[in-house]
Amino acid sequence: MNDDILDVKEWIQYAQDDYDCAVAIAKANNPYSPRIACNHCQQSAEKILKAYTIAKEGTRIKEHDLVKLLKQCMQHSLDFNTLDAVCTALNAYAKAMRYPSGIKLTVSDMNQALDHARNILEFTKSKLKDLGYEYVS
């Protein structure tokens, strides 16, 4: 994988794809849907925040922690502080999603993660649109 892909529109597309995948998985309503959907929600949020930092800084931060990525975004726009609680909530799922942890995510967790990811995605896409990076599906 090329870690230096800096095409903002491609990062936006991947973030949207992860969110859309999470929605589809949630609709499938399988026993593993909450864990997999939560993972895609976190990935969507991570990628859209990285898209913003790439747009503003021209470089990608090699970070997976949403709160740290959010703080980087806040260096360019304090409005991102409105996403603090949702980024913190999605971060809490990270260990449970990726590795065996004994934590069982529920449908309620999944629905909350979908809401959080949608909020992060839509807010950040709006900020990116203001910078000239409009997402067109």
Reported as a single tens digit per residue, the pLDDT across 46-94 is 999 999 999 999 988 888 899 999 999 999 999 999 999 999 999 887 7
Q: Looking at the domain 8-130, which fold is it?
A: Four Helix Bundle (Hemerythrin (Met), subunit A) (1.20.120)
34-49: b (≥16 Cβ within 10 Å) or e: bbbbbbbbbbbbbbbb
Domain range annotation of the chain? 8-130
The residue length of the chain stands at: 137
Reported as a single tens digit per residue, the pLDDT across 87-102 is 999 988 776 677 777 7
pTM over 0.85: yes
Give the position of tokens 């930092």.
53
